[in-house]
Structure 1
Amino acid sequence: MTSRSRAPIIAHVDMDAFYVEAELLDKPELRGEKIIVAGEGRSVVLSASYEARRDGVRSAIPLSRARQLSPTAIVIPPQMHRYRELSARIMAYFDTLTHLKEQLSVDEAFLDLTGARRRLGDPEQMGQLIREGIRAEVGLPATVGIADRKFIAKIASTRAKPDGLLVVPPAARIKFLHSLPASALWGVGAKTNEVLAGMGLRTVQQIAEMPREILAKKLGAVGEHLHDLAWGHDPRGVEPVREEKSIGAEETFAEDIRSTEALRRELLRLSHKVAGRLRSSGLQASGLSMKIRWRDFTTLTRSAVLRHPSQSGPELHAAAVRLLEKLGDRPQPVRLIGVRAEKLSRSDGSLQLSFDAHDDDWLAAQRASDAVSGKFPGAAVQPASLLDAEKPQENPDSG
C-alpha cells in the first residue's frame, strides 16, 4: 500500500446560502433577485443571496443596516422548521456515505471518507458524488472541499464557493497553504491578523518562515498553533460525536427596554428555555453567562460559576439576575439580552442534593413539564409570571 492510499480523505461540505436556497425551492421565481432572510422588526440577517452579498450584506448584521446597503432586496422571514427538515435529510444522506460524520451546524459537516475509496472512487469523484447526491436528495447546491487535513478541507470549501469543488492532494498541501493570506488560517481573527500584520506577516508562507519561538513570544500558544497550521500540521480528526460546549438563547426586543422588571422576566423565560434544552440533551451546567446589548450596539458579556452543576430554570435565572444586578445603573436602554449555559457535563439523571429541598421540587416539576411537552408538543408549560408577558421577537440560536 502506498503512502498516497493511506492518506486520510476528509471532506468539508458547506451548503451555499442555505436559508436563501431553501426559500427558493418554494419561490423559484425569485432566483437572481437580491434576497435577505431575516425576522421582522429589530432582527439580524440570517442569510443573504450572493446578489445581496455583492451590496455588502452579510450574515449577523442588523436588518436595518442591510436595508441601507441593499434597499431593493427582498426580505423573507425565516422558516426554521423547514431548514431543520432539510438539514436532517442532508445529514441522513451523509450517513449513507460514512459513519464518520462531524456535524458543525444545520448546513455544514466534515466527512471522513478514507475507508470509502473502493466504493466511492477517488477524492474528485467523491466530491462530485456528494454534490450530485445533495442535489438529488433536496435540490440544493453545496460546496465541497477535500484534503487530508480538516482545516485544509475547510479552507478549500471556502475557496470553492459557491457551488464548487476543490480537492487539495497531499503532495500539494504546502504549496496550497503558502499561496493563502494569513487570514485564511483557523484562529486568525481581526485582532490576530492585526498583530501578524504588525510583524510584517501577511501570508501563510511568511508565518511558516517566521521562527516558531518569535511567534510564541508575540502570540503565545496561538502563535505556535499558527506555525503548525502553516506547515500543514494538524492531528485533529473527524469527531462523529460532538459534545456541545454551551447552550444559549437570546432575544432582540422590538423596542429598547428600560424596565428592570421586564428584563428580569425575559431572563426568566430564556433561563427556562435553556434549562429545558439542557435536560433534553442530558446535560448540566456549571457556569452561566449573560449577554446584553445597548441601544448603540455595544455588547457586554458577564459570567458566573454556579454553586453546583444544574439544569434548573430557577437556578439559571437566579444567577442571570445576579449578573444583571452587578452591572449597576444601565447607561442605555437594552436592545438584546441573552443567557448561555456553559461548562457543560453529562447529567446522571439524579436530583441534586442541596440544603434547600425547594431546588429538588423545582427540578422535579420541570421534568414533569418536559414530559407534558414531549407528549403534547403544542403545549406551552412555563412559569405563571410569563403567561401575561408579551413575548419579544426571537433570534434563532443554534447554541
Structure 2
Amino acid sequence: MAGFIAHLDADAFYVSAERVRHADLANKPVGVLGNNGACVIAKSYEMKAKGVKTGTPIWDAAKMCPEGVYVKRDFYWYEVLSRKMLGIVGTFSPKLEYYSIDEFFFHAEPLRHGQQLATTATTIRDHILEATGLPVTIGIARTRTLAKLFSDTGKPFGAVAVLTRDHERELLAKMPVTEISGIGGKRADRLAPYGIRTCLDLADADGRLVKRLLTKTGHEIWMELNGEPVMPIRPERPPHQVLGRGGSLMGNVEDPKVLWAWCVRHVERLIEELRYHNVRTTTLAVEVGWKDQGWTGGTSNSPTPTDRIDELLDLARASLRRAYVTGRTATHMQVKATELRRGKGFQLSLFDKPDPKKDKLATVKAAINEKYGRFKVRTATTLYLPAVYRDPANEYDICDVRGKVCF
C-alpha cells in the first residue's frame, strides 16, 4: 500500500466553522459575508441549492434565499480550527503539507497492518469530525493531482480510495478537464481543438502535445494523471521572495500621525508573518496610495536581517518619509519585506550588539498575544486607530489568512 497520497478538503469550511460554535446553524442555509457584509464569500450546501454563489451580493442572495442566515466572517476563528485539523492529521501521517486553510495533502498509510486505505480514510475523517466538529472529505490515490480530483467526487463528507488504473479511468472519463486545478477556461480552449475535453482525454493525449500546449506545468499534470507522482508533498513551503501587509486605510487620512499609526500597525502584522515563516528581512518598503493621485513609495535597508520591531520601525519611518507627500489625502498603504533570509544561519556585522532587554520584551509581548488574542498588546502609536480595534464582532480587520483562501 506504499506510495499513495491523500487529499483532505473541509466541506464548506467557513460555514462548518461557524456551525462548530453556533450549533443552531446546523441544516440551515448559511452564508458567510465578507468585510463589509456586501457579498457572500462562502455558503452552505443548503444555500448553494438556492442558487447563491460565491461572490453573490447580499441583496441578491437575500432574494434568492430569504430564509438564509447571514453571518460575518471571522478569519481568526477559521485559522484556529484549521491549525487544529492540521495537528490531528499530523498524528496520522509522517509527511504532511498545509496546502491551504482548508486543504491538506499527506502520505497515506494504513493505520493498522492489513487495513484497507478506504477504511483508513474513513477513520481519519470520522475522527476529525469528532474532535473538531468539522466535516471533511478525504481522497486517496497514486498522485496528488488524482487525490484532489477524486476527493471532489466524494463531497460532502466522503472517503474515497482510488487505487487501480481501471478505477482511475472510470472516474476521469466523467470529469471535464477544467476540474483539474491549474486548467481554467483559456487552457481548456487551447486543448479543445485536439479533442481534449475530459480528464481522461488529457491523460490519453500525447505528452509532447500537452507540453507544447500547456508548458512544463501542464506536462506535470499529464504525468500525474497517468499515475506518475512528480509533485511531491512539501512539509515546508519554498521560502517567499516578498511578504507584505496592508490595504485600505478605512477612509481618507490626512493627518501624518494617523498615517504613521497605520504604518506601525502594518509593521506589527508583517512581523507576525515573518516569524510564522521563519524569515527575516534586510529591506522594508512602504507604499502609499493617494486619493485620485496614484501611489508613491520609499525603501530602506538594514545592514543585517531582522524581524525586531524597533529595527523595522526605524526602517519604516525612513521609508514612509520618502513616500509621504505633504497636503495629499491617503487611502491605502502597503508595507513589504523583501530580501528575505531564513531565520538562522546568517552572520551579524561586527557592530551589531545583542540587546537582551528588547528581545525579552518582544518575547513577552508575543506570548501575551498568543494566549489572549492577536494584538491585545500592541505598539502605543496604533492608539490613533480606535475604529480599527473597536469592532466588537471579531476584530475583522486584523484577521490574516495564510496561504490560498478556499471556499
TM-score, with structure 1 as normaliser: 0.74
In 1, Cα distance between equivalents of 2:356 and 2:346: 10
Residue of structure 2 aligned with 1:376, choices 368, 380, 396 = 368
1:25 aligns with 2:25: no
1:277 aligns with 2:273: yes
In 1, Cα distance between equivalents of 2:259 and 2:400: 19
Letter in 2 for 1:221: K
1:396 aligns with 2:396: no
What SS does the corresponding residue of 2:57 show, helix, strand or coil?
Answer: helix
Q: State the Cα deviation string for residues 147-200 of structure 1 (Å, max 9, x = none).
A: 121121111112221112222113233443344222122322344344444666
How big is the shift at 1:13?
1.4
- Report the counterpart of residue 102 of structure 1 in structure 2: 97
How big is the shift at 1:389?
2.6
What SS does the corresponding residue of 1:345 show, helix, strand or coil?
Answer: strand
Q: State the Cα deviation string for residues 188-235 of structure 1 (Å, max 9, x = none).
A: 234434444466643333434544444434443234334323433332
On the 8 A contact 1:57/1:66 being kept in 2, the answer is: no
User: Kindly, what percent of the aligned residue pairs are identical?
Assistant: 23
- Report the counterpart of residue 35 of structure 1 in structure 2: 30
1:134 aligns with 2:137: no
On the 8 A contact 2:261/2:384 being kept in 1, the answer is: no
**Pairs aligned (count):** 377
In 1, Cα distance between equivalents of 2:239 and 2:25: 36
In 1, Cα distance between equivalents of 2:193 and 2:47: 33
RMSD: 4.4
Residue of structure 2 aligned with 1:238, choices 223, 233, 240 = 233
- Report the counterpart of residue 182 of structure 1 in structure 2: 177
Matches within 5 A, 1:285-364: 285=281, 309-311=305-307, 313-314=312-313, 317=316, 334=331, 338-339=334-335, 341=337, 344-348=340-344, 352-353=348-349
- Report the counterpart of residue 45 of structure 2 in structure 1: 50
On the 8 A contact 1:251/1:395 being kept in 2, the answer is: no
- Change beyond 3 A, Cα 1:188–1:133: same
Tell which deviates more after alignment, 340-349 or 121-130: 340-349
On the 8 A contact 1:147/1:167 being kept in 2, the answer is: yes
On the 8 A contact 1:102/1:238 being kept in 2, the answer is: yes
- Report the counterpart of residue 114 of structure 1 in structure 2: 109
How big is the shift at 1:129?
0.9
- Change beyond 3 A, Cα 1:365–1:50: farther
Letter in 2 for 1:273: R
1:68 aligns with 2:63: no
What SS does the corresponding residue of 1:376 show, helix, strand or coil?
Answer: helix
How big is the shift at 1:337?
5.1
1:163 aligns with 2:157: yes
- Change beyond 3 A, Cα 1:85–1:225: closer
In 1, Cα distance between equivalents of 2:101 and 2:12: 12
What SS does the corresponding residue of 1:394 show, helix, strand or coil?
Answer: helix
What SS does the corresponding residue of 1:134 show, helix, strand or coil?
Answer: helix
On the 8 A contact 2:33/2:73 being kept in 1, the answer is: yes
In 1, Cα distance between equivalents of 2:60 and 2:286: 30
On the 8 A contact 1:57/1:70 being kept in 2, the answer is: no
In 1, Cα distance between equivalents of 2:285 and 2:139: 35
Q: State the Cα deviation string for residues 315-358 of structure 1 (Å, max 9, x = none).
A: 774697599779xxx9x985x65545466431228785499x8x
Tell which deviates more after alignment, 169-178 or 136-145: 169-178
In 1, Cα distance between equivalents of 2:315 and 2:61: 39
In 1, Cα distance between equivalents of 2:109 and 2:90: 14
What SS does the corresponding residue of 2:385 show, helix, strand or coil?
Answer: coil
- Change beyond 3 A, Cα 1:190–1:310: farther
On the 8 A contact 1:267/1:320 being kept in 2, the answer is: no
Residue of structure 2 aligned with 1:9, choices 1, 4, 24 = 4
Tell which deviates more after alignment, 192-201 or 143-152: 192-201
How big is the shift at 1:21?
1.7
Letter in 2 for 1:276: E
In 2, Cα distance between equivalents of 1:138 and 1:80: 17
On the 8 A contact 2:286/2:316 being kept in 1, the answer is: no
What SS does the corresponding residue of 2:268 show, helix, strand or coil?
Answer: helix
- Change beyond 3 A, Cα 1:198–1:251: farther
What SS does the corresponding residue of 1:144 show, helix, strand or coil?
Answer: strand
On the 8 A contact 1:290/1:338 being kept in 2, the answer is: yes
On the 8 A contact 1:41/1:254 being kept in 2, the answer is: no
- Change beyond 3 A, Cα 1:349–1:218: closer
- Change beyond 3 A, Cα 1:222–1:39: closer
- Change beyond 3 A, Cα 1:178–1:337: farther
Structure 1 unmatched runs, 5+: none
Letter in 1 for 2:57: R
What SS does the corresponding residue of 1:220 show, helix, strand or coil?
Answer: helix
In 2, Cα distance between equivalents of 1:68 and 1:152: 36
Structure 2 unmatched runs, 5+: 389-395, 403-407
How big is the shift at 1:275?
1.9
- Report the counterpart of residue 146 of structure 2 in structure 1: 152
On the 8 A contact 2:139/2:151 being kept in 1, the answer is: yes
